């Protein structure tokens, strides 16, 4: 099985979701099924069907999270020493050459990516363009609006 890179923070988020699903959500859906069963005829019981669907979703998500955590290669960005290169987990400050706009991104795993918070997926076009580059280098990124060029202002391992 291939390993999936994930930051320490991302692994903790997945573990917290898994714990909640197993200890809170699973119990709640079992109670909902029991309550729906107490109403009698299951063949026309919409509450029962909805609770069973919810149970199937929860059990599927638990299996998915357990699989991801089993395959995870947890990387703590604060322990990286990549000598200024952009690597998985690095936080990169960029300046778009055309507009001068400055942005800051951390390169993270698929499950923790959130562009609104500056967390970009390692397999995204911008992350792929940045990986391996150093402070002062220029990265070209193919976007739907055309090619954008970014200068790497700083690389941090936070």
The pLDDT tens digits for 84-129 are: 899 999 999 999 998 999 999 999 999 999 999 999 999 999 999 9
Q: Are 157 and 89 in contact (CB under 8 A)?
A: yes
The parent domain of residue 63 ranges over 4-75
Res. 11: pLDDT tops 70: yes
Single residue among 15, 49, 75 that ends a domain in this structure? 75
So what's the pLDDT on residue 72?
94
Report the DSSP beta bridge partners of residue 148.
141
Q: Are residues 120 and 54 in the same domain?
A: no
So what's the pLDDT on residue 39?
81
Pairing of strands 119-121, 138-143: unpaired
Res. 59: pLDDT tops 80: yes
Q: Are residues 30 and 99 in the same domain?
A: no
Single residue among 49, 75, 101 that ends a domain in this structure? 75
* Structure token digits, residue 44: 């026309």
Contacting residues for 30 by C-beta, under 8 A, at least 6 apart? 55
Single residue among 40, 75, 110 that ends a domain in this structure? 75
Q: Are residues 48 and 32 in the same domain?
A: yes
Q: Are residues 29 and 71 in the same domain?
A: yes
CATH code at 102? 3.10.50.30
Number of domain units in the chain = 2
Q: Are residues 82 and 116 in the same domain?
A: yes
Q: Are residues 10 and 70 in the same domain?
A: yes
The pLDDT tens digits for 63-74 are: 999 999 999 999
CATH code at 8? 1.10.287.180
Res. 1: pLDDT tops 70: no
Whole-number average pLDDT of the chain: 92
């Amino acid at each position: 099985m291939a390993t999936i890179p994930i930051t320490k923070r991302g692994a903790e988020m997945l573990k917290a979701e898994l714990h909640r699903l197993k200890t809170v959500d699973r119990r709640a859906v079992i109670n909902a099924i029991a309550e729906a069963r107490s109403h009698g005829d299951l063949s026309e019981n919409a509450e029962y069907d909805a609770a069973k669907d919810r149970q199937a979703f929860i059990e599927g998500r638990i299996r998915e999270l357990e699989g991801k955590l089993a395959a995870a290669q947890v990387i703590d960005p604060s322990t990286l020493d990549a000598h200024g290169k952009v690597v998985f987990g690095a936080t990169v400050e960029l300046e778009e050459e055309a507009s001068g706009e400055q942005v800051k991104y951390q390169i993270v795993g698929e499950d923790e990516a959130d562009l609104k918070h500056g967390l970009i997926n390692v397999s995204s076009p911008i992350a792929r363009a940045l990986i391996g580059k150093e402070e002062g280098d220029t990265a070209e990124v193919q976007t739907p609006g055309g090619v954008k060029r970014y200068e790497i202002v700083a690389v941090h391992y936070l």
